[in-house]
Structures are given as C-alpha cells and as structure tokens.
Structure 1
Amino acid sequence: MMSPSPDPGAWSGALAGVSFVGGVASAMALADSPYPRPGTDVAAVQAYFQGSSGPARVSVIGQLVSAVSLGRFTMSVARLAGRSGARARLLRAAAIAGGSVAVGSLVVSALGSAALTGRPGEREGTARSLHRLVFAAGGPVHTSAFGLLVGVLAVAGLRTGELPRPLAAAGLGSAVAGLLSPLAFPVQSAAVLIPAGRVSGLLVSGIAGARLARRAG
C-alpha cells in the first residue's frame, strides 16, 4: 500500500495558530488598556475597543486570517479522516461540521470586534451586546467546534498511523478541554477551558499540519 501523498495545504494548520496568536499578542502589546473579560462593565469595553481601536483591529485581522487558514486545514483533516477505515464517513462529516462552525464563529467574533471599534461601539447598549456576542462566538462556541475538529484529527491520525501517538494523545486531551468549554456559560471559573482548549488545539494542529504537509510520498 502506497503512503499518502504530501498535503502542502496542511501548513494552514500552523498558519491558523500563528495568525491568531500573533494578532492577539500584538493587540495586547499595543493597546492602552487590557482586553475586557466577560462581565466587564461597558466603560472598560469601550475604553479598549474605542480607545485602542488600532491594536484591536490588528487582532481582528489575525482572527480573519486564522479563520481562512482553519477552513483550509479542515479540508486536510477531512481527507485524513477519509483514510481512517471503519466509520471514516462519520469522522469526515464530524471534521467538516466542526471546522465549519469553528470558522463561522471566529468570523462572527472578528466582525463583532471590528464593529466595537467603530460607531456601533460608541453606544453603550450596542457595545454591551456586541461584547457578549464576541465572547460567545469566539469563546465557547468556537472552542467547542474547534475541539471537535482537533478530536477528529487525533482519532484519524491514530487510525491511519500518520500521527505519532503522543501527538494524537495531546490532541484528544485538547479536544476534551474544547468540547467542555461551553461550561463557561453557567460556570464562570470554567472559562479557563477556552484558552486551554484553543491554545493546545492550535499547537497540535500546527505540528500535525507540518507533518502531513512534509510527509514522504
């Protein structure tokens, strides 16, 4: 049986992480005030998005580039899932579903953030609603969907033998954190699952994407 051909597009897994983290880190370094956490009063929300609109827009660009990259990486994960043997169709469908929701929710979060830097963010009621939308879409919704995608990546990688077991195990752990992140809605302390699932998932996706892209044919 021939080895699968390299998938150059899988480098998008690394680009998704670099663009997202780069955008967030740049915004944090350049902003005059800290990023407002969920539940923060509207004055703090406006101070960040209106007072540091430039840095906030850098983060928006990073999110949009990450979303596009994640969409391409979803194709690579779906192809990997298609080679995974039993129930390959189910895994492939899960990858497409998870990736699609992850991309869509990240775009919604980015557009909401962009709106907060403009005129809609000047109105207190609108700013409050937009900030809630940004958190919901870019936090629990995105992270849980991304967790599903990373989970499929890990399972398919194990089944095909195309990813090493330690990397697949890390992916499964990341997937669990991501899938549990909606607990942040009723339990505020569970919000830690969002960065845990997202950062670990981006790291796993980056490494896995590099392996799939450079794999010998």
Structure 2
Amino acid sequence: MTSTESTVHVVDDDASFLRATARLLRASGFTVKTFAAAADFLAAHGEESAGCVVADLHMPEMNGLGLQAELARRGNPLPVLFLSGAGDIPSTVRAMREGAEDFLEKRAEKEELVEAVKRALSRDALERNHRCRKRALRARFATLSGREMEVLGHVVRGQLNKQIADRLGIHERTVKLHRTAITTKLGVPSVAELTLLAQEAEAFPVSPQTFP
C-alpha cells in the first residue's frame, strides 16, 4: 500500500463497532485503517495521506468535532463523515457548518454509509487535485523577484507601463523588462491570464484591486 492510496480511516473508541464498521467497508471494496482514538489517527496522519475519515462523534479526550477542527488546521484536511449513536441537533449543525461530508446514525443502512464514503472519497480526490495545482502555481510565482511581484500587482490592476513606472519610480523600459520576465517565468502572455493565475494561486494577501 502506498501513502497516497485512498483509505477510509475509521476512528471509534468502541472496539466492537470499530471492527464491524471496518469489516463492512472492506467487504464493500474500500481500503480501511482503524484507530481507537482521535490522537492515534492524528499521529499517523501525514501530508500525503489520501481518503476520508469516518469518526464517532462522542469519544474520550478528543471527540469527533475536535478531530474535525484539528484536521481543518492541517495542510491535508481529509473529508470527515460522522457516525453517532447519540447525535444531537447542535452537534450536527456544527459538524455540517464546518464542512462534514455527512452525519449518520450508527444504525444507518449499509448502503447509506457506503454512498457517503464514496462521496467523501470523490471530494478528497477533487480537493487534493486543487491543492496540488495551487502548490504548483505558487512554486511558479516563487520564481519571481520581489520587484517582479510588485510590477505584477500593478499589471493585474490593469495599469499601463507608464503608470506602473511612475508608481514605482522606475523607468518605463524597466517595467517592460520586468513584464517580459514575468510572462516568461509564468508561461502566460496576457494580462487576463496573469490575473486569473494570480487569483488561483492566491499570490497576493489581498486582491490587487485594493492596492493604493
């Protein structure tokens, strides 16, 4: 098994239910790992782990909501599907608001659980691809110098070379050279494409349109 294989990580302090859920999911064709506590899962969870988490809501020390919150703070937040024998409306609302894939009772039908897991795995694949693309884009932007990033910020605002030169106190020809370097390094020729790329990579801490 590779670290990037999609795995259903089942987290539950009830040993018998943990075994039963793992057996059901394996019989349905999923790769499964089991953990008796949230801390055990988090200790094993790496940046390249793929899949989803099926977690009990009520567990000692760290409950399911705490696990969900900790995952959200990490660079690889897997989708979470909650199973609970004693759910309540506030917990359900909080879990869904924080992005839970689903919230099922432990006595839910097998088909309902399997479909929820399939959705969670599909979501993870899409989000993982998005994060990979964003990292690749940010690596491209990291090749730009500080001055080139300054120039780019004004370019995507739609400013002309002369305006940028006046703003930065440099020669207009220098702005042209920086723009050539930017388009060469990023591999996109037009302002529209540069703007879209910068937005997708979140290259600026705020939208360039808010620059003074």
**Under a length normalisation based on structure 1, what TM-score does the superposition of the two structures give?**
0.30
Whose Rg is larger? 2
Tell me: higher relative CO, structure 1 or 2? Use CA pairs within 8 A at least 6 residues apart: 1
Structure having the higher strand fraction is 2
Structure having the higher helix fraction is 1
**Under a length normalisation based on structure 2, what TM-score does the superposition of the two structures give?**
0.30
